[in-house]
Structure 1
């Protein structure tokens, strides 16, 4: 009976050690915002500027992406079911710098709205933000 008890204790301790190794602080501080085109912009010319700042996250040993999904059924907001092809902005310090922006035009996206989120992966964790929603038409 003592051998079984000892084995159970060892298994419990071992499994706790594994859990302690796999959990880590997966909270990253960054800024991601949308800036709408001026109100007087015609519907055909509407655009949004997506600004980001990942300087506090840093890019060393991290994979940072912004996932953007154009939505076809905008009346459901971020709960929509009909999408166009997903776009990814990889923040790699080359094409998209750690602090930067990109303009998305309504007519080029061929969508009246989209949802977006950040995906950050490091050696110790993966973190995806909640979905945000943006509509070109108010």
Structure 2
């Protein structure tokens, strides 16, 4: 009985460690970037043009993409900021999502001087989250 229990424990621990490795080694092929754009408000400000291309992914209910955009109030802390506004979610679950698209973020619609963003891609067997990236409207 003891031998059977130890064998089951070994098999279970091997399975769990393999599944954790599988989740950390996803290889989803997509492109996304945020680049500064000229602001119509002031010369000292810039807008953020986010462009993405998820067309190489077969998006469906089993493979989803979420872009999280978090407006930041304490911009001087960069990516380690702690004072946030409500997170903006751009998700492939929504009917108006396009696999190739863009969005222009500006100071008016964000009501914050900077933001951080990341991408989360989920499938049945794997979840991949990009590192947080930071953008400031100030030049």
Range into which the TM-score falls when normalised by the shorter chain: 0.7 to 0.9
Aligned to 2:3: 5
Query: Gaps spanning 5+ residues in structure 1: where?
Result: none
Q: TM-score, normalised by structure 1?
A: 0.83
Alignment of 1:31-46 (within 5 A): 31-38=31-38, 42-43=42-43, 46=46
Task: From the CA coordinates, give the structure whose radius of gyration is larger.
Answer: 1
Per-residue CA deviations over 1:58-109 (Å, capped at 9, x if unaligned) read 2032121100000001111111111111100012473120111011121221
> What is the TM-score of this pair, normalised by structure 2?
0.82
Deviates more, 1:30-39 or 1:12-21: 12-21
Query: Counterpart in 1 of 2:128?
Result: 127
Aligned to 1:73: 74
The answer for unaligned runs of 5 or more in structure 2 is: none
The root-mean-square deviation of aligned C-alpha atoms, in Å, is 2.5
Is the Cα contact below 8 Å between 1:119 and 1:128 reproduced in 2?
A: yes
Question: Any conservation in 1 of the 2:47–2:106 contact (CA below 8 Å)?
Answer: yes
Paired positions, count: 136
Are 2:45 and 2:137, in contact at CA under 8 Å, matched by a contact in 1? no
SS of match in other structure, 2:3: helix
